[in-house]
Amino acid sequence: MVLVYDSKTQEFSNDGLGTVTPSSCVVSEEINGAFELELTHPVDSFGKWKRLQKNNIIRANTHRGIQAFRIYRVVKNVVDGTVKVNARHIFYDLLANFVEDVRPTGKTGAEAGQQILSGCQYLTPFTFSSDITHTSTAYYLRQSPVQAFLGDTDQAFISRWGGEIVRDNFSIAVNTRLGADNGVRIAYGKNMAGLEFQEDASGVATRILPAALTEDNQILLLPEKYIDSSHISEYPFPIVAMLDTGFQVGKEVDGAVPYPTVDSCYTAMRQFVSDRYLAGADIPKLSLSVDFVDWKDITGYEKYRSLLTVNLGDDVTVDYAPFGVSVKLRVCAVSYNCLTDRFETLTVGEKRISVVNSINSASRQLSEVKREITVTNQNVSSVTENVSDLNSDDKLTPGEKSAALREWSSFANEKGTLSTQATALGITTELSAYNDSFQLLSNYLNGGALYTTGIPLWLDSGHLSVTTEISGTQYRQKFEDYYAARNTLVQAITAKLKALADTAQNGVNANTNEITTINSTLTTVQTDVNGLQTSVSSIDDQISNTEDGIALRLSNAESTIEQHSASIVTKVESSTFDGYVSENDAQFSDVDTRLTTMQQTVDGLSLSISRTGYRNLLKNSAGRNGLTFWSTTETVTTVSNTDTSNNTVSNSAFLMAAGSAISQDFSLKFNAAHTVSLLFRASGSGGTVTVSITQNGAESVLYDNANTGTDWEFVTFSFHSLDTVCSIKITASIEILASDLIVSEGTNIAPWVQSDEELYTTNFIADSTGLTIGSNTTDMKAHISTSAFEIYRGDDLRINVAPDGTRLQKTIIEDDLTVGSVKEIVRAGVGVDFVVI
């Protein structure tokens, strides 16, 4: 029985507008494809045909039970007096709805489908379910829900989560697969009425020539060149094909080199061909058409009766006699006669899993691999916009990790090319910033640890399928910083290439004939600076003592010698004199390049510099300015006494109570070795002193003494910087004195010095907070900063002169108040007056 309902019906508990009596009614469905009904009805005298109006709903019995279809086309044939209608399954009502912006992130199949329906522009009667448990991520912007589920884009549900759709009236399910393997098996045959095999040998290859690339981008072939199929003799002649494997010797892929040698590449090439043959590259593609309308209950067809039991998505095994193999085919489309309740046709096609695609899903032609990489500017804003959409929930899900891995792999693959070009063009500042941003991003994705090679920790195969707790803000910032630095570098390369091209063109136009060769790949860029020569024959020549030849500056144990007439700047850092001689036959004799003391005598003035090159990155590192710049927990004070005077360089120390801690954030050079030193003494034995460094949100313990003593102990240890700002923390389980803290760049143990911007003398302190002047005999002190002038008595602020005016904070009178003085005035004949002045 076929019923028709009004277009607005959503409940089918009654007969609606009534029945119709079509002459034919066939439903067809494809896996993840169309699901439609085609009906032909006579123009009858009862007027039933008038019920078949556009947008009305037809309900008919199908291979999936009774289903609803909405009419979208009505064609009246006045010649034969029929009405033909086409109707789509009610699922396609979703074509009229709209998804503006739905982004299931790290969701299972059921969660993603429900989010799509919930994100529709208006409510729908549809429900969704799925047995797909793995998670993924997709973005659906300004499209219909049907496109979101079954579209042909990479973002479509069936592309991201996989599966095959089951449409049952207003219920939608996308499960792992349709159908089953019920053991239906048929033998190869052809030209049989109603059962026809089709062979397509257009893609067959029985002799394959695999190709790869050498390290220098030359084509690499196997020593034996060709690999033959085991079925080669079953064809009248070999079918030869060349296949690009996409492999390259020595090429880094995702942080690793899969084929470091030619022999390892040969092995992979042979396996590549073997996999292709295993996947059926040497066997024709088969399809089977079953037309049940032509079947007769006669001898010869009984063995195919089992096909009557199959349904959409079921497996059928075909014994393919010519090659002695069995091929698994699936029912990929059906047509069902709603009037006779039986299949009319089955379309059985081969569902072949491509081994090649699993190995190299983005196979490239050799010509594409060999092409020179031309770096062009990119619009970074569109990419960073996509990155900003990720990880707003501080969780890096498997779906987001897959997207991040694709992005990061792209960065890693292009890094070598960008670095080579920038180096050849002499672009250093932008290249350094680019390398730093790549390293910072890689460190962050590596769980905060130093990244060296391979795939970062969070994105490797062992962690790709799990969700990682992160800081979404930091994650996005690292990506944005990388894109910004990359864009700046690309712009610099483009500008330099254009400038070189313009210079070359100008030279040609002027007929200077001075341009001999322009190497477009720019593997070498040379710059000649005429007139600049340095001749050094002795140590005296290195430092000219002429009155107008030297400007000598001493700043924080670093000497900079500038020879202004030749615009040469030589820096002497860390007691090391690095002599650079450039192609002018300059010679040094008996020069020790690691000087601990440098002396220079100018007209009888002797200048001695010792302990050069050390900088303390910590501020107020011995507590000489109280607890300024330090964060503390529990009780921490500073002391300066005989003990600190006799045993420390700074003459001061932090007095840390048991269970206390001090910490300070400081800036440092990225991706460099640093050394920490500390002098401490505990009040007793058996306590614990811990020193740790926090970088990228991860804390690392550098020193852990679990058995303190009462003697002063000097400790030192190194670490490698993973960011430009980190934090040092000292924790004590027992009362200790901690002094002479220093963090310096390099691996040498540095003696304690105060920070660059600090100056401490008796009752005089200068640092970034301002200038403090005190007194040995009283507890008065004055502090001058950019915001105020203050006078203290101990910790009590007495006078504060600030930009908002001058005010008297407090006046304390401890003795009698005396105002002015008393003066006696004697007036003749009057007496004595006393005047208070």
Q: How many CB atoms lie within 10 A of CB 226?
A: 14
* Plot region of 821 (φ>0 → left; ψ -120 to 50 → alpha; else → beta): beta
Q: What is the pLDDT of residue 109?
A: 94
Residue 549 clears pLDDT 80, i.e. is over it:
no
The average pLDDT across 461-471 equals 85
Banded model confidence at residue 508, pLDDT cuts 50, 70, 90 = very low
User: Do the Cβ atoms of 273 and 281 come closer than 8 Å?
Assistant: no
Q: Which tokens hold the place of 289?
A: 């058409």
Banded model confidence at residue 581, pLDDT cuts 50, 70, 90 = very low
Q: What is the pLDDT of residue 309?
A: 67
Q: What is the pLDDT of residue 365?
A: 32
Q: Measured between alpha carbons, how far is 102 from 120 in angstroms, rounded to an integer? A: 9
Return the exposure string of 228-240: e unless at least 16 CB atoms fall within 10 Å of the residue's CB, then b: bbebeeeeeeebe
3-state secondary structure 615-629: CECCCCCCCCCCCCC
More confident residue, 210 or 323: 210
User: Beta partners for 555?
Assistant: 558
Q: What is the pLDDT of residues 163-207, one digit of tens each?
A: 999 999 999 999 998 888 777 766 555 333 445 556 666 778 999
Q: What is the pLDDT of residue 540?
A: 38
In percent, the amount of the chain with pLDDT more than 70 equals 69
The average pLDDT across 506-525 equals 42
Q: What is the pLDDT of residues 245-264, one digit of tens each?
A: 999 999 988 788 999 999 99
More confident residue, 408 or 61: 61
Dihedral of CA 288/293/299/301: which sign? Answer: positive
More confident residue, 98 or 586: 98
Q: What is the pLDDT of residue 103?
A: 93
Banded model confidence at residue 530, pLDDT cuts 50, 70, 90 = very low
Q: What is the pLDDT of residues 700-743, one digit of tens each?
A: 888 888 778 888 988 898 888 988 899 999 999 999 999 999 99
| DSSP designation for 577 | -
Residue 498 clears pLDDT 70, i.e. is over it:
no
Q: What is the pLDDT of residues 615-639, one digit of tens each?
A: 899 999 998 888 989 999 999 999 9
Strands 99-102 and 82-89: unpaired
Q: What is the pLDDT of residue 541?
A: 41
Residue 511 clears pLDDT 50, i.e. is over it:
no
Say if residue 821 is exposed, middle or buried (CB neighbours under 10 Å; 0-12, 13-18, 19+): exposed
In angstroms, what CA-CA distances link 482 with 387, 477, 486? 11, 8, 6
More confident residue, 393 or 139: 139
Q: What is the pLDDT of residue 822?
A: 58
Residue 605 clears pLDDT 60, i.e. is over it:
no
Q: Which tokens hold the place of 278?
A: 């295993």
User: Do the Cβ atoms of 416 and 252 come closer than 8 Å?
Assistant: yes
Helix (H, G, I), strand (E, B) or coil at 686: coil
Q: Measured between alpha carbons, how far is 647 from 669 in angstroms, rounded to an integer? A: 31
Residue 512 clears pLDDT 90, i.e. is over it:
no
Backbone angles phi, psi at 18, to 5 degrees: 120, 180
More confident residue, 502 or 86: 86
User: Do the Cβ atoms of 559 and 570 come closer than 8 Å?
Assistant: no
Q: What is the pLDDT of residues 752-795, one digit of tens each?
A: 888 877 877 666 777 767 878 876 666 788 878 777 878 877 77
Closest CA to 415 of 451, 361, 366: 451
Helix (H) / strand (E) element for 647: namely helix 642-647
Residue 590 clears pLDDT 60, i.e. is over it:
no
Q: What is the pLDDT of residue 25?
A: 96
Residue 142 clears pLDDT 60, i.e. is over it:
yes
Place of tokens 């449409």: 167
The average pLDDT across 382-404 equals 60
In angstroms, what CA-CA distances link 116 with 15, 92, 126, 174? 32, 15, 11, 13
Banded model confidence at residue 308, pLDDT cuts 50, 70, 90 = low
Helix, strand, coil shares, percent, the chain, to 5: 20, 35, 45
More confident residue, 373 or 631: 631
Q: Measured between alpha carbons, how far is 717 from 724 in angstroms, rounded to an integer? A: 19
Banded model confidence at residue 493, pLDDT cuts 50, 70, 90 = confident
Q: Measured between alpha carbons, how far is 581 from 559 in angstroms, rounded to an integer? A: 20
Mean of the per-residue pLDDT values for the chain?
A: 75
The average pLDDT across 424-432 equals 89
Q: What is the pLDDT of residue 834?
A: 59
Q: Which tokens hold the place of 428?
A: 């250093």
* Plot region of 54 (φ>0 → left; ψ -120 to 50 → alpha; else → beta): beta
Q: What is the pLDDT of residue 41?
A: 94
More confident residue, 461 or 714: 714
More confident residue, 318 or 62: 62
Q: What is the pLDDT of residue 503?
A: 63
Banded model confidence at residue 566, pLDDT cuts 50, 70, 90 = very low
Banded model confidence at residue 148, pLDDT cuts 50, 70, 90 = very high
Residue 13 clears pLDDT 80, i.e. is over it:
yes
More confident residue, 817 or 624: 624
Q: What is the pLDDT of residues 663-695, one digit of tens each?
A: 999 999 888 889 999 999 999 888 999 999 999
The average pLDDT across 322-344 equals 78
| DSSP designation for 750 | P
Which residues touch 200 (CB under 8 Å, ≥6 apart)? 284, 285, 286, 287
Residue 610 clears pLDDT 50, i.e. is over it:
no
Place of tokens 């290249």: 431
- pTM for this prediction: 0.39
* Plot region of 275 (φ>0 → left; ψ -120 to 50 → alpha; else → beta): alpha
Q: How many CB atoms lie within 10 A of CB 95?
A: 14
In single-letter form, the type of residue at position 293 comes to: V
Q: What is the pLDDT of residues 403-420, one digit of tens each?
A: 788 678 768 877 887 888
User: Do the Cβ atoms of 456 and 463 come closer than 8 Å?
Assistant: no
Banded model confidence at residue 817, pLDDT cuts 50, 70, 90 = low
Q: Which tokens hold the place of 88?
A: 């789509």
Q: What is the pLDDT of residue 523?
A: 36
Q: What is the pLDDT of residue 128?
A: 96
Task: List alpha helices for 510-554, DSSP H.
Answer: 539-542
Task: List alpha helices for 398-461, DSSP H.
Answer: 398-424, 429-445
Which residues touch 629 (CB under 8 Å, ≥6 apart)? 619, 620, 664
Residue 832 clears pLDDT 70, i.e. is over it:
no
The average pLDDT across 512-531 equals 38
Helix (H) / strand (E) element for 271: namely helix 262-278
* Plot region of 153 (φ>0 → left; ψ -120 to 50 → alpha; else → beta): beta
Q: What is the pLDDT of residue 55?
A: 95
Backbone angles phi, psi at 575, to 5 degrees: 60, 30
More confident residue, 377 or 688: 688
Q: What is the secondary structure of 354-383 as a DSSP string?
A: -HHHHH-TT---HHHHHSPP------HHHH
Q: What is the pLDDT of residue 102?
A: 92
